[in-house]
A and B are shown apart, each in its own frame.
Chain A
Amino acid sequence: MGRTLIELTDLWKIYQMGEVEFAALKGVNLEIDKGEFVAVIGPSGSGKSTMMNLIGCLDLPSRGVIRLDTEDISKLGESDLAQIRGKKIGFIFQQFNLIPTLSVLENVMLPLEFQEVATSVAQQRGLYLLEMVGLNDRVHHLPSQLSGGERQRVAIARSLAVDPDIILADEPTGNLDSKTGKYILDFLNGLHTNEGKTIIIVTHDLNLVKYAEKVVHIKDGEIEKVEYT
């Protein structure tokens, strides 16, 4: 399909736990094209989150190379990684991870503040995104005043704030009922088809896997197979 956006080459992640070493990823090779919708599935503890964190520049690999937009990020410093995260990647977490002391709108504006976007612009963008996820009547609420599904919609709006190329969602529906989960996935699918965003989700729910064009099966830190649907 399109050009390669993310390229993992012989990627290892080894955790040192005292005397014992534990390899969470054992030489993973994977290419993800721009605009792809990828689902990552596998048993618990197989290394899905570990891989997502590496793609998301939240962690550095023990060995191997990660290329984002052909740039090797596996040896970058923390502040360069922060730049990449802030500009290119939107995160959606299982636990929503909103800042509890900030209002819904402030949460959505936060990534733009790190990019030093003017407040008025950030506010407009925030309101626009919250309207997109159907929360325009909740902008001044605190996260604690929202339901789980609503919180995740705020998190989606936040992940889109800087208009990133890549959305990483690690079990985004894990804490939601199946109906809300479906809504979230439909929304992400819309972003994929309408805006051409590259979306990578980790999920256990096989009903949601069908949204993906490409399914990556991970087991024991290795890629078992890659399916195209």
Chain B
Amino acid sequence: MKLIKAFKHALNMVRHSKLRSWLTIIGIVIGVASVVSIMSIGAGLEQDITSRLSGMGADLSTITPGFSKASGFSHRMPSGGGSAGGATATDEEVVLDRTDVQVLKSIPEILLINTEIKGSAEVYYLGKRGAVTLTGVDQKVWAQITTLEIRDGRILGPADQNVIVIGGRLADDYFEKPLGINKMITIEGGSFRVVGILDDRSTNIYMPIQMAYQVLDDKETDIYDSIIIKIKDEGEVDYVTEKVEQKLMMTRHVTEKDKDFTISSSKQMEEMRSEMVSSLTTFLTAIAAVALLVGAVGIANTMFTSVLEKTKEIGIMKALGARNKDILAIFLLNAFLIGLIGGIIGVILGYLLSGILPALMGGGGITGRVASAGSLVTIESVLLSLSVAVGIGTLSGAVPAYQASKLKPVDALRYE
């Protein structure tokens, strides 16, 4: 029998057991759709991260005192340390100070150095009090180094003193009335003027570091919570980060083992995040693959049933001159078709879902990230799921089809 005829009979079989075929197809559709949509959303997230990576901030590295496993990379703390603040269990408190800044200044590849301190401060405006995060920044370089974006007003400049830049939510919703540009706000008793509002949803306050030392009275002058460096050549981030690490270890008299500071580039951080996303995607894809497997079992089940149901027809065909391979071809193609139809519908559905799902997932956290990243349907994921669907369909049809082809003509004809 010619293949095209076998194909016609296979198609005929699909058409004439509509309900069962469709139920089987649905199984494959669900599997393929979930694989495609999860892979697409994952690809979207990864692409989003990559694009952020190549945008602003990839040339920045942050140095913080203390060393914790969580923020470190492959190094380990020998003893218990690793609290969020990063202070180690040594007698002396571990800090970053001017000496460290001097060391950094001696490295020619570094373009800018921003020193920061961070703490909680009480704010008061129009009868409402609250505690917000206050960051003191080196206003002489902050404008060139920050990745934050200004919505209204301006960023801090070198000559600024009693002025602040505030987060979008602090400006809009935090107090009874919006806190606009040039409004005065009381922070820990001192009076500050708002000069800029950030384009974000935070309640953070940024002010010149010298002022912050006065406001946050547990902070000691010239002791920094973090030092952020901007590297001249973005391509040298890894190299410079390594170099800074070596130099600081030398001047601070520590080794890999008892290292008391952490340096991380935003590039590394994004890479880590990207790794996390891809392992999350892999995990979800694995779950989706299980759905696909269930679909495959469905095909096998349907095929066994239809071989049983068509036993007599198989006998008739054999009496009419069908060879074993003709019967095999018809049933294999039937399974192939179910896989193909399920695969195609699944890809289309997965494509639609990957468009719709991110839009439905507003809010913060990872879902928010998904929402803003959108999805990316890759040719790979489409081809992969299609070939997996067809492959699985044909494979799970193989055993029943083989069984059908091996039926003895008399026995098959006698079957009722």
A contact residues vs B (CB 8 Å cutoff): 53, 56, 58-59, 78-79, 82-83, 85-87, 91, 93, 97-99, 101-102, 110-111, 113-116, 158, 162
Interface of B is mostly: helix
**Cα–Cα distance between A53 and B318 once the two chains are bound (Å):** 12
B409 & A58 in contact (Cβ 8 Å cutoff) = yes
B317 & A85 in contact (Cβ 8 Å cutoff) = no
B357 to chain A, nearest CB (A): 40
A58 & B413 in contact (Cβ 8 Å cutoff) = yes
Q: Nearest CB to that of A118 among chain B residues? A: B2
Judge whether B269 is part of the interface by a CB distance below 8 angstroms.
no
Q: What 0/1 readout, one digit per residue, does chain B (278-309) give for beta carbons within 8 Å of chain A?
A: 00000000000000000000000000000000
Residues on the A chain within 8 Å of B15, using CB: 101
Which interface residue of B5, B312, B319, B323 has the most chain A CB atoms within 10 A? B319
Residues on the B chain within 8 Å of A93, using CB: 413
Residues on the A chain within 8 Å of B322, using CB: 82, 86, 114
Judge whether B12 is part of the interface by a CB distance below 8 angstroms.
yes
The residue from B12, B408, B409 contacting A102, defined by CB atoms under 8 A apart = B12
**Cα–Cα distance between A111 and B326 once the two chains are bound (Å):** 12
Interface bracket on B = 20 to 34
A113 & B413 in contact (Cβ 8 Å cutoff) = no
The residue from A53, A97, A98, A162 contacting B321, defined by CB atoms under 8 A apart = A162
B17 to chain A, nearest CB (A): 9
Can you offer 18 A-B residue contacts whose CB atoms are under 8 A?
Answer: A59-B409, A78-B323, A82-B321, A82-B323, A85-B319, A87-B321, A93-B413, A97-B316, A97-B319, A97-B413, A98-B316, A101-B13, A110-B317, A111-B321, A113-B1, A113-B2, A114-B1, A114-B322
Q: A53-B410, A58-B410, A59-B409 are in contact. Are A101 and B12 (CB under 8 A)?
A: yes
B319 & A56 in contact (Cβ 8 Å cutoff) = yes
A102 to chain B, nearest CB (A): 7
Judge whether B236 is part of the interface by a CB distance below 8 angstroms.
no
| Closest CB pairs A-B (n = 8) | A86-B321, A114-B321, A101-B16, A82-B323, A58-B409, A59-B410, A111-B320, A113-B5
A115 & B321 in contact (Cβ 8 Å cutoff) = yes
Residues on the A chain within 8 Å of B2, using CB: 113, 116
B312 & A85 in contact (Cβ 8 Å cutoff) = no
**Cα–Cα distance between A111 and B323 once the two chains are bound (Å):** 11
